[in-house]
Amino acid sequence: MTKDKELELIRILEHHGRIETDVLAKMLDENEEDVKTGMKKLEDEKVILSYGAIIDWNKVTTEDHIAAMIDVKVTPQREVGFDEVAARIQRFPEVTALYLMSGTYDLSVMVEGQTMEGVARFVSNKLSTLDAVLSTTTHFRLKKYKHDGVIFDQEEKDRRMVVSP
């Protein structure tokens, strides 16, 4: 598979991870076996890391689903900078995303849990107690409008006529 085809494959999978390989093969104008091999290669090379779904949890469960973004200031460590403390934080299962930021704080930690108390406990008992962590500021998410490029609660309606020139 050429580099261009590989890029096309990645672009399609980024938004349609569940698409079947025979359909993918047609979309790419490639042999199905080559597509399977290409996907395996991208998985082995950790280009494709995971095939996920974007879920609107509010529609399927009444259980609370709490998310918070926590701004964290840390003391960078000699030689490893922020990486060592980031490596510790990212392993907590409550942490769903972690970014190094420029600006007034250093790390942005996305945490998800079932209750506000659970998130608060994580911040006070686990995150704040790390030696390198100087301070935290927690923002609870109130509503999800858009995530990973997908707009929630947007009814897609095709307003075009059935047949047009």
For binding to other proteins (CB under 8 A), which residues are involved?
Answer: 8, 11-12, 16, 19, 23, 25-29, 158, 160-165
Contact residues for 157 (Cβ-Cβ < 8 A; gap 6+): none
Copy the structure tokens of residue 23. Answer: 């359909």
Closer CB to other proteins, 78 or 159, in the complex = 159
Closer CB to other proteins, 19 or 55, in the complex = 19
Nearest distance from C-beta of residue 126 to other proteins, angstroms:
40
Nearest distance from C-beta of residue 55 to other proteins, angstroms:
19
Closer CB to other proteins, 23 or 47, in the complex = 23
Nearest distance from C-beta of residue 59 to other proteins, angstroms:
20
What DSSP letter does each residue of 71-123 carry, written as one string? Answer: EEEEPPBTTTBTHHHHHHHHTSTTEEEEEE--SS-SEEEEEEESSHHHHHHII
Nearest distance from C-beta of residue 26 to other proteins, angstroms:
4
Closer CB to other proteins, 6 or 8, in the complex = 8
Closer CB to other proteins, 27 or 120, in the complex = 27
Closest CA to 127 of 137, 115, 139: 137
CA angle 18, 27, 7 (to 5 degrees): 80
Nearest distance from C-beta of residue 154 to other proteins, angstroms:
11
**Identity of the residue numbered 23:** V
Neighbours of 42 (CB within 10 A): 17
